[in-house]
Amino acid sequence: MSMRRPMNKPMLLTLSLGHIIADVYGGMLPALLPIYVNIFGLSYGAVALVAVAHSLSASAVQPVLGYFSDRINGKLVLPLAPLIAAVGVTVATQVPHYGLALIAVAIGGLGIAAYHPEGYKAAGYYSGDQQNTGTSIFSVGGNIGVAAGPVVVSVLYAWRAQEGLLLMVLPGIFMALVLFWLLPRIETGTEVAPPDFKAAMLDMRPVLAPLVLLLVIVILRSFFWVSLSSFIPLYAVAELGMTEPEAAGLLPYLLFSGAIGTLIGGYVADRTSKELLLLWSLVPVPFFVYGFLHLSGFWMPVMLVFIGGFTVSTFAVTVVMSHELLPKQRAIASGMMVGFAWGISGMGAPLVGTFADIFGLFAALNALMLMPLLPSALTYFYLRMMRQGGKYRDRMAVRSSPTA
């Protein structure tokens, strides 16, 4: 009988704090874009290029970074990542030329990206036998960081304009010092991963079908989340007649309930079934979106709370499921489910915008309302695949411990 492994809460909370700091710099970017317009006199196309540079460097490269993280003891990345993110994003607000700002944003994005694969691997190590709960504690740091980023920018810019933004670098420096101090005590549970790319692909091949299907489910869930959070403020202004501050005030209900949903989802998954949670969590969401679009007053933020809580409840759960499929390549699995899926899903938002240009925002959100049913349906096929596929069951049965 194997010994139970307790959760190391102090280390998990420290790693989660690092996740908050790293993702604060990602959350800052949307609030910085109007400032870039004022500083450099940019067109909307040039502004969009800044967003693309950030998305590619902060999200799309995570599987690549995860590949290397799985093959080395890369825990030094943990303190370096928030420092690089802080310096890159802060420098991007102070340089005199647009091209330099673009490079600095990309460098900052690499810092944000680098924290995630190694961080999720370390979080799995310190989660013990409560993988879903522990991973959700780490994951919720990202939710909080992204939500807090715009607040930090608005406060500092209102205080001393461009000069005030220099203080953005301080959280990253602070977190880097804390993690450097703790570095001798940090473990990531690094395993002997396949030694090269060919061996890594051979390791994936037995579980490639469920892994790809799980990735598609995560991409569709993220597509719905990114698109809805992007267009709700626009809908509130254009269709409901709210002011811009009033419309922006709706987003915290969505974002912070998502953070709470992540914690609840991890807790529930460890005590019931993460597969059933993934199957049913998105089913009620269209009803809540319908309520948001057709109710008013008090009920609108209530519906946003339910949308956020249910949609994001399986964020950490899907990361754990990918770790179970790739026990020797947990960093690359995390990079796929968190970074790559998020980056790809963000590219779908312009499709919703084009639909809204043609048919109106109300029609676009009504169409988006049905989106959660698609990943729910695909989850049913994923679960059938896992039940019927002997090779997948064998892989799960012999999966390695995070302490290996």
- For 196, phi then psi, to 5°, come to -140, 180
Fill in the amino acid letter for 50.
V
Q: How many CA atoms lie within 13 A of 178 on its CB side?
A: 17
Q: For residue 253, is pLDDT > 70?
A: yes
Decide: helix, strand or coil at residue 206.
Answer: helix
What's the pLDDT score for residue 218?
Answer: 96
pLDDT score of 193 more than 80: no
Selected residue with higher pLDDT from 233 and 318: 318
Find the mean pLDDT for residues 306-327. Answer: 94
Sign for the pseudo-dihedral over CA of 4, 5, 9, 12: negative
Mean pLDDT value of segment 349-355: 81
Architecture of domain 1-190: Up-down Bundle (1.20)
Query: Running DSSP on this structure, what letter comes out for residue 337?
Result: I
Q: Where are the domains of the chain?
A: 1-190, 193-404
- Token digits of residue 243: 């002011």
CA distance 201 to 213: 17
Q: How does pLDDT run across 22-47, given as a tens digit for each residue? A: 999 998 887 887 788 778 887 767 87
Cβ proximity of 22 and 81 under 8 Å: yes
397 pLDDT exceeds 70?
Answer: no
pTM listed for this prediction = 0.86
Question: Where does residue 399 fall: left (phi above 0), alpha (psi -120 to 50 degrees), or beta otherwise?
Answer: beta
pLDDT score recorded for residue 203: 87
Tell me the CATH number of domain 193-404, given options 3.30.1370.100, 1.20.1250.20, 1.10.940.10, 3.40.50.10090: 1.20.1250.20
Average model confidence (pLDDT) for the chain?
Answer: 87
Residues 231-235: what's their mean pLDDT? 84
Q: Residue 17 has what pLDDT?
A: 97
Question: CA-based diameter of the chain, in Å?
Answer: 66
Query: What mean pLDDT do residues 282-287 have?
Result: 96
pLDDT of residue 1: 43
Round to whole Å and give the CA distance between 278 and 301: 24
How would you classify residue 297: left for phi > 0, otherwise alpha for psi between -120 and 50, otherwise beta?
left
When pLDDT is averaged across residues 260-285 and rounded to a whole number, the result is 93
Mean pLDDT of 279-299: 94
Q: Which residue did the predictor score with more confidence, 136 or 391? A: 136
- Please determine, for residue 391, whether its predicted confidence score (pLDDT) is greater than 80: no
pLDDT number for residue 44 = 66
Which two structure tokens, joined as six digits, stand for 198? 């060919």
pLDDT tens digits for 77-122?
Answer: 999 999 999 999 999 999 989 999 999 999 999 999 999 999 998 9
Sign of the CA dihedral running 137, 170, 29, 102: negative
Contact 236, 355 (CB under 8 A): no
| Site of tokens 């501050």 | 245
pLDDT at residue number 172: 97
Distance, CA of 125 to CA of 188 (rounded, Å):
6
Alpha-carbon separation of residue 271 from 207, 240, 284 (angstroms): 25, 42, 21
55: enclosing H helix or E strand: helix 44-55
Whole-angstrom CA distances from 355 to 238, 342, 349, 369 are 15, 21, 10, 14
- Structure token pair of residue 139: 């994951």
Please determine, for residue 232, whether its predicted confidence score (pLDDT) is greater than 50. yes
Asked if 296 and 79 touch (Cβ cutoff 8 Å), the reply is no
Report the SS3 class of residue 343. Answer: helix
Give yes or no for residue 75 having a pLDDT over 60.
yes
Q: Which residues contact 12 (CB under 8 A, 6 or more apart)?
A: 123, 126, 127, 134, 137, 138
CB-side exposure of 63: number of CA atoms within 13 Å? 17
Q: ∠337-338-339 over CA atoms, to 5°?
A: 110
Residue 298 pLDDT greater than 50, yes or no: yes
**Intrachain domains 1-190 and 193-404 with the same fold:** yes
Q: What's the confidence (pLDDT) of residue 401? A: 44
Q: Report d(CA 368, CA 90) in Å as an integer.
A: 35
